[in-house]
Structure 1
Amino acid sequence: MVDYYDGSIEKNHREAIEQATTDRTFANWIDGEAVTASTDETFETIDPAVSVPITAVPRSGASDVDRAVSAARGAMDGEWGETTAAERSRMIREWVQTLRDHADELALLESLDVGKPLAHAAGEIEKALEFLEYYASVGRAQEGTQVPVSENSHVYTRREPYGVVGAVVPWNFPLVLASWKLGPALAAGNAVVLKPAEDSPLTATRVAQLSKDIFPDGVLNVVHGYGEESGAPLTAHEDVDKLSFTGEDVTGEAVMESAASNITPVTLELGGKSPFVVFPDADLEQAVETVAGGIFYNTGQSCDAPSRVLVHEDVHEEFVDRLVEAAESYEIGDPLVEGTTLGPLASQAQYDKVTGYVETGRDEGATLVAGGDQPGGDLEDGWFVEPTVFDDVDNDMRIAREEIFGPVETINTFSTYEEAIEIANDTEFGLAAGIATTDTDLAHRAAADLEAGSVWVNTYGSTVTGGPFGGYKRSGIGRECGQDALEYYTQTKTVNVELGDPSL
């Protein structure tokens, strides 16, 4: 992607903010139009690289959620409820093409909002569009079944949309994770009320605006605000037929409790503390590159990041040396400048959390072998943390058990296969896991024994269109990204027709 900025980091970002927000209003999007909050209150979204405001967005409440849900219900009762799978596919494809025409604009908004290097943001925008295109295709392939009963009965099934879907997405991959929900929900024929995280409201607003005159009004609605003020009313709303949430596990508990009062079905993609097991026969150069890319990409703010590395004792010393070298090779800097490979954390709260865990690791007796500090100079006003590696970590330490969500890697050692699997599975999470080995038998055996929804062998984090993604244990319920995600946005109806004798 072209690099337009070459001044000081503050100058770069103030110019970019002006470019991204001039003549733009980032209001709620309800029933096909921009809408302010019912209270007329707003809050600021902050650029994490320089800690300055980007723009203001509505601070919505329950009445705004009511309005959005009502608009979605109106769409279901109207034109959208009568569409065919082919018609929905055509609309989604038209929308994707419009979004692709605005890809540079969307990438800049994403970079400013959450601190991603601009090139990474551009790649993620394209990834989001690929997911939307995928569901535009597979949505047309939905089929019912015919159930053989007897000559006198014709029994078949239909897949029907739930109706109004409430979707709540986090701030770490704003548009990608929104696409995981919007793609199958819309392709299946639902209308959506999307609640983006308060730290990353911009791309959600813009893609909804760019759906104007493509989808009928009310099909895609966006309501901004804080979780307890707008998210909670959405998850508890009696006229929402299906909920899909991505975020931390404790909030997932609250979503389930809220949905229970209305018996609303939920899909939850929650946190992780994912192990990466390095067996003694592994290609260490490849393993280190894989681990570093997994934990330091997006400044470690990934639910499936391989944040626990388990290394066989025979290769431990060499692996640590190589990983420290890899960590120190990352270019920390202005996300808008070409060559930056590590941007800031997304918010002050996340910065405080991550730096707190770094101190906890020191206090627990782990050995800090790389990073752990904040860069100075032009970066001191942003929420930057160096790539950090702790060695000599025990699995009962907090840094090995709790989700840090930052560029912090922990290293533990093992001596036997059984010990490796036991340590890997000794966690309340089960979102993902990784394996480094050249032994095919070992790879398949470990993949079967690891308690995780995704297992990557000699690679990591390559979530692809068509590959189901979701977790075991406290990491969630349901799957996204694959064709079977459509099943989580539809319900099955069985039709039984009694056949009489022909009268002719």
Structure 2
Amino acid sequence: MSRNETQDAIRERHRSAHTEALLTVEVGPWIDGETETAGTTVATTDPAIDEPIVAVPACDADAVDRAVETAWDAYDRTWSEATPETRSKRLSEWVDALEDRVDELTRLESLDTGKTLQEARGEVEGAIGTLRYYASVTRAQTGEQIPTGSELHLYTRSEPYGVVGQVTPWNFPAWATAWKLGPALAAGNCAVLKPSAHAPLSTLRMVQLSKGIFPDGVVNVLTGRGSTVGSELVEHDDVRKVSFTGSEAVGKGVMRAAAARIAPVTLELGGKSPLVVFPDADLDTAVDAAADGVYYSAGEICDALSRVLVHEDVHDEFVDRFVERAESYVLGDPLDEATTMGPLTNGEQFETVREYIDVGKSEGATLAVGGGVPDDPALADGHYVEPTAFTGVDNEMRIARDEIFGPVQTIQSFETYEEAIALANDTDYGLAAGIATESTDLAHGAAADLEAGIVYVNAYGPIRPEGPYGGFKQSGIGRDLGEEAIEHYRQTKTVYVNLDDPSENPNL
């Protein structure tokens, strides 16, 4: 088969997959348990062939008002009275429905984002695991009785906010949906969620599979652009709590909007996360962490380990091994099981990443591997960028400071432990960090000294629903995942009950 024929085959395979996928999902906002339409639309595009999958209705301010009002109606009517046992049961039933549709959700996620089938399946399964976790811990929620004197009974109640607004990104649509809805519903809230306009399909299908499980209106999804419907949602006076995952710039706007009405926020924003490779590290392990940490999902990951700091004694050998590993990736059709790296999710990000590669060259860094687009004409329609790495980088370069959000690694060297920690912490971000070492002392010491909300030792990941996830500094505030996330969706009420001496009760 010629290269042009291969290109045509990929295009036809994806068009056929679009048709099959759209047989299972209703495309439109999900309000009060039903799919709605809207006058204007925004296309979601398949990044492997740069063609629209489907036109998605774009909500307006009236739709936001309706969704929020519907959520409050559901909260007041039924959900506020749902016991932890009931909420746990409903979440478990939703998990069962999702588990029956893993293949379907995997395909939607791959088509919408460009993730390989393996990546998409892992993230769908991660989403299901997250919801299963919140179904299990829902029943463990308690208040607290505070010991006082015999004349006072003092206790606390943890109560939901009522209706919460949530905004998820385009790089992990299914998983982020579970990260937001799981703890919010477990805590007893109703939710209005806005997925990214670039990748809404898996989220829509997930909530549609909750039909008949949650009361209508408990879960609502608004489609459209963040600059319009997203802004309307986070600014809405009746949204009592906001949770946002996305860029630092937009997160600041969300925080300002919530501050205007004193609404609490959870923000999971960007990162420029270091991986510190100490001289005693197993280099195969370190290379795996560095490659997985920046090339997984084509580098479109907020906690990407995109700055490798390597001790000078092992720097050159590490670079040689890393280049070999980068060259081993197979760029191709995400629907092909042999593909190990797919395209970037949208054209805007594709251009941004290519511009940063040019910036790295102009700043004087050495391009060690990659830097271009694949020369296979069969991939010419997609947003593909080669696995890339720069050496000769210093911390003042933009490629070492800015979040690129693509498959671009930077490699620097250090001499001492103190220099490594200083370089690692010399960033406005603090989402994640990595450590490669065979020393327990170094692992625990560096984990304490690194300014990051998540620290990975001798690997990139895993991410478990039990572990709180969030960052320091400009990487955000609050936490997703873990029992801590449930607390972010509840507020504490303290109750003072004054008691008389029972012996003085006139009825006794």
Please give the TM-score of this superposition, normalised by the length of structure 2: 0.97
1:89 alignment partner in structure 2: 88
Which amino acid in structure 2 is aligned with residue 165 of structure 1? Answer: V
SS at match of 1:67: helix
- CA–CA separation in structure 2 for the residues paired with 1:53 and 1:442: 50
1:9 alignment partner in structure 2: 10
The answer on 1:234 being equivalent to 2:222 is no
- CA–CA separation in structure 2 for the residues paired with 1:208 and 1:180: 13
1:364 alignment partner in structure 2: 363
Bigger shift: 425-434 or 285-294?
A: 285-294
Residues 50 and 433 of structure 1, relative CA distance in 2, 3 Å threshold: same
Whether the 8 Å contact between 1:46 and 1:54 is mirrored in structure 2 is yes
- Per-residue CA deviations over 1:466-502 (Å, capped at 9, x if unaligned) read 1111100000001111111110000001111111222
Which amino acid in structure 2 is aligned with residue 368 of structure 1? Answer: L
Deviation at 1:25, TM superposition (A): 2.5
- Per-residue CA deviations over 1:230-289 (Å, capped at 9, x if unaligned) read 000101000001100001111110000000111110000010000000011110011001
What are the within-5 Å matches in structure 2 for residues 25-424 of structure 1?
Answer: 25-37=26-38, 40-375=39-374, 376-424=376-424
Deviation at 1:464, TM superposition (A): 0.8
- CA–CA separation in structure 2 for the residues paired with 1:433 and 1:474: 14
Deviation at 1:328, TM superposition (A): 0.4
1:439 alignment partner in structure 2: 439
Deviation at 1:23, TM superposition (A): 6.0
- Per-residue CA deviations over 1:85-113 (Å, capped at 9, x if unaligned) read 00010001001100111111111000000
- CA–CA separation in structure 2 for the residues paired with 1:24 and 1:30: 15
Gaps of 5+ in 1: none
Q: CA RMSD in A?
A: 1.2
Bigger shift: 440-449 or 324-333?
A: 440-449
Whether the 8 Å contact between 2:47 and 2:343 is mirrored in structure 1 is yes
Whether the 8 Å contact between 2:25 and 2:201 is mirrored in structure 1 is no
- Per-residue CA deviations over 1:57-105 (Å, capped at 9, x if unaligned) read 1111211111110110111110111100000100010011001111111
The number of equivalent residue pairs is: 498
- Per-residue CA deviations over 1:358-394 (Å, capped at 9, x if unaligned) read 0000111100011111113110110000000100001
SS at match of 2:148: strand
Deviation at 1:461, TM superposition (A): 2.4
Whether the 8 Å contact between 2:288 and 2:459 is mirrored in structure 1 is no
Whether the 8 Å contact between 1:430 and 1:451 is mirrored in structure 2 is yes
- CA–CA separation in structure 1 for the residues paired with 2:280 and 2:480: 33
Bigger shift: 73-82 or 425-434?
A: 73-82
- CA–CA separation in structure 1 for the residues paired with 2:148 and 2:109: 54
Residues 152 and 468 of structure 1, relative CA distance in 2, 3 Å threshold: same
Deviation at 1:7, TM superposition (A): 8.1
Whether the 8 Å contact between 1:6 and 1:12 is mirrored in structure 2 is no
- CA–CA separation in structure 1 for the residues paired with 2:96 and 2:151: 49
1:499 alignment partner in structure 2: 499
Please give the TM-score of this superposition, normalised by the length of structure 1: 0.98
2:474 alignment partner in structure 1: 474
SS at match of 2:126: helix
- CA–CA separation in structure 2 for the residues paired with 1:212 and 1:339: 36
Which amino acid in structure 1 is aligned with residue 431 of structure 2? Answer: L
Deviation at 1:330, TM superposition (A): 0.5
Whether the 8 Å contact between 1:6 and 1:337 is mirrored in structure 2 is no
2:22 alignment partner in structure 1: 21
Deviation at 1:6, TM superposition (A): 12
2:3 alignment partner in structure 1: none
Which amino acid in structure 2 is aligned with residue 351 of structure 1? Answer: F
- CA–CA separation in structure 1 for the residues paired with 2:477 and 2:461: 19
Which amino acid in structure 2 is aligned with residue 467 of structure 1? Answer: G
Give the ranges of 4+ consecutive aligned residues of structure 1 lying more than 6 Å apart after TM superposition. none
Whether the 8 Å contact between 2:181 and 2:191 is mirrored in structure 1 is yes
